[in-house]
Chains A and B, each alone.
Chain A
Amino acid sequence: MTPRRSSAYLAFLAVASALGVAAAVHAKAERTRRGPELEAKAVIVRSLGLTDLCLFTEARYTRHPSQADRFSPFQDSPGSPEHFPAGSIVPPPRNP
């Protein structure tokens, strides 16, 4: 006897839910395991007086977004469209 299609679909949902639970457990375990790593980073930031995450090192204003000149996004090539991919992550400031 072939199984009902709904049984197969519900089995798929059960597997997906189990994987979802596994992902939640993994996320919690990773947060616990890597909590000290975040704490260590915070200590380094405090002791060295760092101001920004080191994610995009291609330009001054993407390496230290919080320290860049107010004018910096265009000082390298005025009038140009944004030329770094990181610029698609960093939003323009809100106008008043």
Chain B
Amino acid sequence: MRHALERHRYLLDFTLASLARRKGKSLALLVVYAAVVFALASVLFFTEALRREARAVLRGAPELLVQRTVAGRHDLLPADWIPTVAGIRGVGAVSGRLWGYYFDPLTRANFTVMVPEKFWGARGEAVVGSGVARARGLGAGDALALVASGGRYLTLAVREVVPAEAERVASDLVLVGEEDFRELFGVAPGHYTDLSVAVRNAKEVGVVARKVAQALPDARPITRSELLRTWDSVFDWRSGLVVLVLAGAVLAFGIVAWDRASGLSAEERREIGILKAIGWETSDVLLMKVWEGAAVSIAAFALGVLAAYGHVFLGRLALLAPVLRGWSTLQPDLRLVPFVDALQLVSLFFLTVVPYTVATIVPAWRAATIDPDRVMRGTL
């Protein structure tokens, strides 16, 4: 056992010395390789953290929402939909929700103005999210002037600011009372943005949603499970940015693997020839090449993963943040709760380390099985 371990250590010594002789090439390979792992791991860690957070946080979302669509677009619905929906068997409580978007010309930001079911402020008061407070420089007691639908100003007193910890759910919120909402957007009494429906038996949500669609043909029911699925697919592995980064990384690996598989350099081939001439077995040469691939891969994997962890969970996603923030004026808080599991790391390992290690063995096997004399003379 000890002998076998010592043999592997000598092979590793030899491999590292061989890599050190090609210092520039080896270092460049290590940096590029680690950068690919870093990019992949960053996206993987970030999407998984947000996906888990979405699942944990949105489990309290309304069980069933009913929207009205007119000419293919979301429209206000009349209050007489409430008794119709409430009359469906299995439905508990139905309440009309009022919410909408306000484009603030001052900050060029979009606010979500909403009437909570039980607004705790008085008329003329608002509770604002921390993003709104930051953009407008507001604190409790300040005045928030908004342009109402008729063109005149509606000035609200800021009652309180939602704590910054809730930024990822409430950053852009402006919570107001029903009268202020209707005045701001010119929504006539008896009209709502959508309906929030509580279903007595959670297993019947799908059935109730179907009955709502039958009773009200203009209705579009959205269940909580659909809502969670939407957010799941937003951060799905197969989606958008992830696929792009993944495709780039896989392509880069393809090129490296092809480069390795298409043959060794004359210098590497000569080295193998000399090793065989001085008595190395084919299996020794192969083992040395396995160590070479593994040494580079494992080092790159470790550097890439550790750097990605620091980037996502300690560095607040500094490199990806500009892409994610895009045109948003109210920028999301990116202090994520770290959710990293073994499956993620194993997938990453098999996606990066294994292909490269395998790619280094094939040409080495070809070179190791030919006549050392021919290799050294360069007649191949």
Chain A positions near chain B (C-beta within 8 angstroms): 4-6, 8-9, 12-13, 16-17, 19-20, 23-24, 26-27, 30-31, 34, 37-38, 40-60, 63-71, 75, 84-91
Contacts and interface: CB of A to CB of B under 8 A. Distances in A.
Contacts of B329: 57-58
Given A26-B313, A30-B337, A89-B241, A52 B58 contact: yes
Contact of A5 (B17, B67, B169): B17
A88 B244 contact: yes
Contacts, number: 210
A71 B58 CA distance: 24
B374 to A, nearest CB: 31
A48 to B, nearest CB: 5
Interface in B14-37: 16-17, 20
Nearest to A39: B56
A67 B67 contact: yes
A49 B61 contact: yes
B110 A66 contact: no
Contacts of B330: 54, 57
A64 B67 CA distance: 13
B141 interface: no
Given A38-B53, A54-B172, A86-B326, 5 more contacts: A9-B12, A16-B302, A17-B302, A48-B117, A85-B326
B339 A51 contact: no
A5 B165 contact: no
Contacts of A75: 73
B69 A65 contact: no
Contacts of B129: 54
Given A9-B295, A49-B61, A69-B73, A91 B236 contact: yes
Interface residues of B, number: 84
A53 B340 CA distance: 20
Nearest to B172: A57
B57 A53 contact: yes
B337 A84 contact: no
Contacts of A12: 299
A8 to B, nearest CB: 8
B323 interface: yes
A47 B169 CA distance: 12
Contacts of A13: 298-299, 302
A67 B64 CA distance: 12
Interface string B330-355: 10100001111000000000000000
A43 B60 contact: yes
A16 B109 CA distance: 44
Given A5-B12, A34-B337, A48-B116, A58 B97 contact: no
Contacts of B73: 69, 71, 75
Nearest to A93: B233
Interface string B96-123: 0100010000000110101011000000
